[in-house]
Each structure stands twice: as structure tokens, then as C-alpha cells.
Amino acid sequence: MFADRVLSGMRPTGSLHLGHYHGVLKNWVKMQHEFECLFFVADWHALTTHYDNPQIIEQSVWDMVVDWLAAGVDPAHATLFIQSKVPEHAELHLLLSMITPLGWLERMPTYKDQQEKLSGKDLSTYGFLGYPLLQSADILIYRATQVPVGEDQVPHIEFTREIARRFNHIYGKEIGFQEKAEAAIKKLGGKKSKLYVDLRTRYQEQGDDEALESAKALLDEQQNLSHGDRERLFGYLEGGGKMILSEPQSMLTAASKMPGLDGQKMSKSYNNTITLREDEAEVTKKIRTMPTDPARIRRTDAGNPDRCPVWQLHQVYSNEATKAWAQQGCTSAGIGCIECKQPVIASVLEEQKPMRERAQLYLDDPSLVRNIIADGNEKARKMAQETMRDVREAMGLEYK
Ligand code: TRP
Ligand code: SF4
């Protein structure tokens, strides 16, 4: 019923680097031409782990938006906004919390993982436990159909589907519900179908609570009902409604293979990054001083590219001819390492050039960025408010 709508968020916890560009932003730039896209700054999510030093968040918000724009995310094609400027996310988070079993949150793999990874920080907080539910609210409030995320976030999308299903089961029903429920009744088989229908009629027409309990017991006994049909038949017993929240799909973003300056994955925590708009001289210096094959001590020693982090950068940045040149030159000691690094430096600078130029425009006139975000906030807020009207109504919070 809904056209595809893509939504994704990023936490503002520091400057973006080329790993983000190759892993996430290039993908956003591509998708903005294929789908309706909403991209937002997840500042509340950043607070769940950075509650004691929010300055980092404050500094990163605008830098991050400039990085997005620099990378080619285009406000004419995508709606860009800040989570906390759409307070409806918090309202939906609160309302969903009423029906969220604690066990679902406690069992989330990211919950224990992150607590172990950030062991220096007390993450046994209410806010951190609720991280995935806030994410669900982010997604469900826009009725997003596709959520591009990395592998680690897939359980959060699965959890979001379960929350939507639970919400719909408790407060409403899906589109085509009637037909699907009737088909599910048929699947019960002759006698049981008839029993179910009779019990439902007795409950709905005469308010017979015993009939309702019997019907529920009947459903509980059914071993081979699918989860969806079971929820339909439970829902169908008790009354009418409509689909309120739609279940999103995750769109798996291939794990970024972007190598850092030391050959490990590029990551702020490894201190091996080149930032998106890093100064040219700094980029040159960083690559020039990169470690190479440790066995290649003298210029006359032949090297082995497989043991060299520069070779990994060639995989990302060089064409076949350049790679053949480096491979041949390295293994025959025909070229020196500085020489070998030169085309990589040139390619990184070339990739960054349009980004630096686009960013300059926004740095020269920060009001452009403020206006883009103000527009986005407003657009997002309208959509969020529409969903919240349905949610409040479904939950009986209208008080008309
Ligand atoms: N949790 C996501 C991450 O760490 C960020 C995020 C917050 C998000 N809300 C979202 C991503 C909604 C997609 C959709 O990367
Ligand atoms: Fe690495 Fe190139 Fe030096 Fe070989 S020549 S060790 S691939 S930098």
C-alpha cells in the first residue's frame, strides 16, 4: 500500500571519514535517486552513550550534515533533518514502551556487546536499554519500508517489525485484514473453522466472554498456524481496525571494506582514518608515512604487496593497469614505496576534490545548512504528526 520509503540515521559522535563515505554515504547518494529518502542526525541516540560529554554531539551535528552534503546527498532529493527537532519520535518511543517486553530489549545482541566494548562507561541506563526502541520509533513514525543498515543493526530492524506487529495486533489491523483472516480460518480445517466462527459470533454478538476464552484456547492448540495467521485470528476475534504501523525491511549495506592507514578496517577507534574533507597536505603526509611491507627495509629489497596496507588502498583506488604496475614494481624492487603511494595519494585527493568544493559553499555560508535542515525538520515533522494522530487514535488518546 505504501510506496517505498527509505529512512536512515547516523549518530553525530565525531567527524566522518572515508570509511563512512565508501560504506554508507555513497549508498545514500545512489538511493536518493531511486526512492523517497529521509536521512537524519540521530542526536538522541548519541546521547545514550555520550550523556556525560554532549559537547561532542553538539560539535558533530553540523559538521556531519556538511559532510553529507559534501558527499553528494542532495536536499532536492532527500529530506535531511535532526531527530530531536521532531519530538514526536520521543512520544512514539514512550507509547511503544508500554507494549515492549523488557526481555526483547535485554536479549538484543547490541545491548551486551556495546556494554562490553565501552566498559569504561556505565551503560546500565534506562536510555541505553531503550536504544533499539527509540530506533523503532524513528522508523515506524515515517512508515519507512526500507532501512539501509550495516549487519550489526539487522536485529534492530527485526525487533522493529516485532514491535509494529505487536502494536497492530493490540491496537489495530492490517490492510486486507478481513480477507486474510477469512483465509486463515479456512486453514484451521472444517470442524475447527466452524467452531472458531461460532465462538467468535457468540462473543461479538452476545458478549459471551466464555466463548472468547474457548476460541483463544482453540487457537493456542493449533500447532501449524503461521505466526502471522495466529495474530490475525486472535485479532479477528476481538474486533475491527486498520493497519497503523507498517513493518520495515532492512536493506543490508555491504560491510565497508575500506582499509585504514594501517591495513585494519578504517575506524576512529583505530586512529587510522582519513577524514572526508581532510586537508590536502595532511592527506599526502598521512599516506606518505603509512607503513608498508615490514620486510621491505631497503629500496633494493623486493616487497610482497599482500603484506602491505598500501596495496589494499590500491584495491579501492587504482585501475588494473596501476595495480599491475605496483605489483610488478614492488615484487621486483623496480619502484620505491613512495613512488608506489603516489597514485593512491592522487586518487584520494581527486575523490575528495568535489567534496571539498561542495563543503566550501556551506562553510562560507552556514545559513544554507541551517535552512536545509529547517526545511527537512518541518517536512519530517508533518509526516511524523500524521502517524501520531493515527497512533493516538488507535490507543484511545484522542479524548474527543
Ligand atoms: N542505530 C543506528 C546506528 O548506530 C543509527 C540509527 C538511529 C538508525 N535510528 C535509526 C539507523 C533509524 C536506521 C534507522 O548506525
Ligand atoms: Fe607496499 Fe607498494 Fe611498497 Fe610494495 S612498493 S611494499 S606495495 S608501498
340 lines ligand 2 (CB under 6 A): yes
Q: Are residues 198 and 307 in the same domain?
A: no
Q: Which of 298, 340, 341, 344 has most ligand 2 atoms within 8 Å of CB, for mutation?
A: 340
CA–centroid distance, residue 345 to ligand 2 (Å): 13
pLDDT value for 237 = 81
Average pLDDT over residues 207-219: 88
User: Which pLDDT does position 173 carry in this prediction?
Assistant: 56
- pLDDT score recorded for residue 139: 98
**Pocket lining: 330 vs ligand 2, CB cutoff 6 Å:** yes
Distance (Å, rounded) from C-alpha 113 to C-alpha 382? 36
Which of the four pLDDT bands, split at 50, 70 and 90, describes residue 253? confident
Ligand 2, closest atom to CA 329?
A: 5
pLDDT band at 1 (very low <50, low <70, confident <90, very high): very low
Closest residue to atom 3 of ligand 2, CA basis: 337
The best mutation among 287, 296, 345 to test binding of ligand 2, ranked by most ligand atoms within 8 Å of the C-beta, falls on 296
State the pLDDT confidence band at 341, using cuts at 50, 70 and 90: very high
Question: What's residue 57's pLDDT?
Answer: 96
Point out the least confidently predicted range of 24-28, 157-161, 204-208.
Answer: 204-208
Residue 242 lies in a domain: no
Question: What tens digit of pLDDT does each residue of 86-143 get?
Answer: 999 999 999 999 999 999 999 999 999 999 988 889 999 999 999 999 999 999 999 9
Residue 266 in any domain: the answer is no
pLDDT score of 234 more than 80: no
Residue 223 lies in a domain: yes
Residue-level pLDDT at 366? 97
Average pLDDT across the chain, whole number = 93
Measure the N-to-C terminal CA separation of the chain; round to a whole number of Å: 29
For ligand 2, the distance from its centroid to the CA atom of residue 26, given in whole angstroms, is 28
Q: Which of 325, 331, 337 to mutate to test the pocket of ligand 2 (most atoms within 8 A of CB)?
A: 337
Residue 239 has pLDDT above 80, yes or no: no
pLDDT of residue 2: 42
306, burial (CB in 10 Å: exposed 0-12, middle 13-18, buried 19+)? exposed
Domain count, the chain: 3
**CATH number, domain with residue 284:** 1.10.240.10
> What's the gap in Å between 98 CA and the centre of ligand 1?
21
374 compared with 3, residue with greater pLDDT = 374
pLDDT score of 255 more than 80: no
pLDDT > 90? residue 36: yes
Residue at 245 is within a domain: no
Ligand 1 pocket check for 8: Cβ under 6 Å: yes
- Domain annotation covers residue 272: no
What is the average pLDDT across 52-65? 95
Q: What is the DSSP letter of 282?
A: H
- Domain check: are 147 and 15 in the same one? yes
Domain limits at 48?
5-172+250-256+366-394
Whether residue 313 has pLDDT greater than 50: yes
Which ligand 2 atom minimizes the distance to the CA of 296?
6
Q: Does 152 share its domain with 203? A: no
Mean pLDDT, range 296-308, rounded to an integer = 96
Domain membership flag for residue 323 = yes
Q: Is the domain of 72 the same as that of 111?
A: yes
The response to whether residue 7 sits with its C-beta less than 6 Å from ligand 1 reads: yes
DSSP strands (E only) in the chain: 5-10, 36-41, 78-82, 146-149, 249-252
Q: Which residues pair with 265 in a beta bridge?
A: 259
Mutation to probe ligand 2, out of 299, 310, 318 (largest number of atoms < 8 A from CB): 310
- Give the pLDDT confidence of 367-397 residue by residue, as tens digits: 999 999 999 999 999 999 999 998 998 899 9
pLDDT of residue 17: 97
pLDDT of residue 175: 65
- Quick check: CB of 108 below 6 Å from ligand 2? no
Mean pLDDT calculated for residue range 35-45: 98
* Cβ atoms of residues 150 and 10 within 8 Å: no
Q: Does a structural domain hold residue 244?
A: no
Do 200 and 151 fall within a single domain? no
If asked whether residues 13 and 118 sit together in one domain, one would say yes
Which cell goes with 158?
Answer: 527485526
- The cell numbers describing 49, all together, are 552513550
Confidence (pLDDT) at 260: 97
CA angle 320, 323, 325 (to 5 degrees): 110
